[in-house]
Amino acid sequence: MIKPSSLSFISAFVHNIHLPCLLDTGATHSFIHTSIVRRLNDVSITNIKQRFTLADGNTNVNITGIVHLNLCIGQITTPISAFISKSLSHPCILGQDWLNKYSVDICQSTQQVIIHTAESSAKIPMDHRINQHHFPLKSTIAIIIPPQHERIIELQSPISS
């Protein structure tokens, strides 16, 4: 039986581009997918080459730069510096850097997120369209499955469950 995801998502906008964001309390930094950055105009990008290892100890995320942009969430705007990568499971991952900077409260019981800035606070609903979010998986080993056969295999995901 597949249980509903316990992952928390919110909707944001960057330069009028809708950006579903994963709130990842286990990530120390925030990340944005290369495909989103390519669609943005007039953003400050610093090119760097870096690699992060995810909490599973096996998955690496290659970084190509840092982008400085403004996330519009509800009625507030939050400036953010995010690492750019093409190997992300989601368009935007908001990590502890962003969560702590804006004293974000994630309330699972009410399915709401509260974001605090110096000027105001915003209470927004979580994005419940989880079925519209796709997460790539890859086999931990190379296998061949003949037609009309099935196998149970071990998969690896770039995000924690």
77-107 burial code (b ≥16 CB/10 A, e <16)? ebebbbbbbeebbbbbbbbebbbebbebeee
CA distance 150 to 48: 43
Residue 98 backbone phi and psi in degrees, to 5: -75, -45
Amino acid 156: pLDDT: 64
Give percent helix, percent strand, percent coil of the chain, each to the nearest 5.
10, 45, 45
Amino acid 2: pLDDT: 44
* Type of residue found at 132: Q
- H or E element at residue 14: strand 8-14
Amino acid 114: pLDDT: 95
Amino acid 160: pLDDT: 45
Amino acid 5: pLDDT: 56
Question: Average pLDDT of the chain?
Answer: 85
One digit per residue, the tens of pLDDT, for the chain of length 161 reads 444 557 889 999 998 899 999 999 989 999 999 999 999 988 889 999 999 887 777 778 899 999 999 999 988 999 999 999 998 878 999 999 999 999 999 998 899 999 999 999 999 999 876 545 455 567 778 888 888 888 887 766 555 44
Threshold 0.85, pTM exceeds: no
- Domain extents in the chain: 8-132
Amino acid 72: pLDDT: 94
Amino acid 161: pLDDT: 40
pLDDT digits (tens, 9 = 90+) for 9-51: 999 999 889 999 999 998 999 999 999 999 998 888 999 999 9
CA distance 117 to 123: 12
8-132 CATH, one of 3.30.450.20, 2.40.70.10, 3.60.10.10, 3.40.710.10 = 2.40.70.10
Amino acid 3: pLDDT: 46
Amino acid 1: pLDDT: 40
